[in-house]
Amino acid sequence: MRRVSLFYALQCGDLSELRALGKVRELKADEPLFHQGDEANLVYTVAAGSLRLYRLLFDGRRQITGFALPGEFLGISIDDSHDVTAEALEPSRIWCFPRARFDDFVAGNPILKDSLLEVARQELAAAQQQFIVLGRKTAMERVASFLLYLHARFERITGHPMDHVALPMSRADIADYLGLTKETVSRVFGQLRNSRIMRLETLTCIQVLDRHALKALADGEDA
C-alpha cells in the first residue's frame, strides 16, 4: 500500500511515528466508515479492500461520487463535516488518524504537503473527467470509460500490467456512479461480452480481452 499512498516518500522512522498516531479499523461489507454530515475529526487511508463514496440528494436518491481503493486517502474536508458517506464494498481495513494530530505531523514533514497537493490535484482531475462522462457520453461510452479508469487504477496499485479487473462494486453502484440504470449497465456489459471485448470471470471480476477496442468505445469510435 505504501508505494501508492501519499506516504510513499516517508522514511521508516517517520512511518513508525505516523503509525503510532493512528489505529486500524476493520469494516465488514456495507459497514459505514463515516456518514454524510458526521464531524470530520479523522482522516483515513485504505489499507485493504474498497469503499463507495456517496451523497444522498434531497429527494432520497443516491449519487455515488467515487470509489476508494487501497492506498487512497480519505477525509479531507474544507468544512467541519463530511459531505459524503463512505461505506465498505467488501471486508476492508482502514488506518484512522485524528485530524488535528495528522495536521501537526504534516507540518513537521513538508514532503507530505506536496503529496497532499497531488491528492487534491488528482481529485480535481477525476471530478472534471466525471463531468465529461456524465454530460457528453453515451451509456456504452460511460461504461467503457469506467472500466478503463478502474483498470488503470488497479494496475497502479499492483505495479504491473494486468488483464483482469476486480469489480467489488455492484451493477447498481456502477449505475449510480455513471448516472445510468442498473438494467442499462447490465445490458452494456452483455454487449461488451458478446463483442468479445471483455469476459465475465465472476460477478466481481472481468477479463479485458481487447483493451484497444474498449478505449475506442470510450472515445466514441467504432471498436
Digit-coded pLDDT (tens) for 182-221: 999 999 999 999 999 999 999 899 999 999 999 999 888 7
SS3 content of the chain, % helix, strand, coil (to 5): 45, 25, 30
**Whole-number pLDDT of residue 140:** 93
As given in the structure block, the three cell numbers for residue 37 are 454530515
Question: CB count, 10 Å around CB of 105?
Answer: 18
pLDDT at 158 over 90: no
Which among 217, 171, 173, 174 is positioned nearest to 192, based on CA atoms?
217
Average pLDDT over residues 17-43: 92
Which among 80, 103, 114 is positioned nearest to 8, based on CA atoms?
114
pLDDT at 20 over 60: yes
Average pLDDT over residues 44-62: 90
Q: Is 184 left (phi over 0), alpha (psi -120 to 50) or beta?
A: alpha
Amino acid at 137: K
What is d(CA 75, CA 96) in angstroms, rounded to the nearest whole number?
10
Question: CB count, 10 Å around CB of 206?
Answer: 23
**Whole-number pLDDT of residue 53:** 94
When comparing pLDDT for 210 and 115, which is higher? 210
What is d(CA 208, CA 214) in angstroms, rounded to the nearest whole number?
8
Contact (Cβ atoms closer than 8 angstroms) between residue 5 and residue 71: yes
Amino acid at 118: E
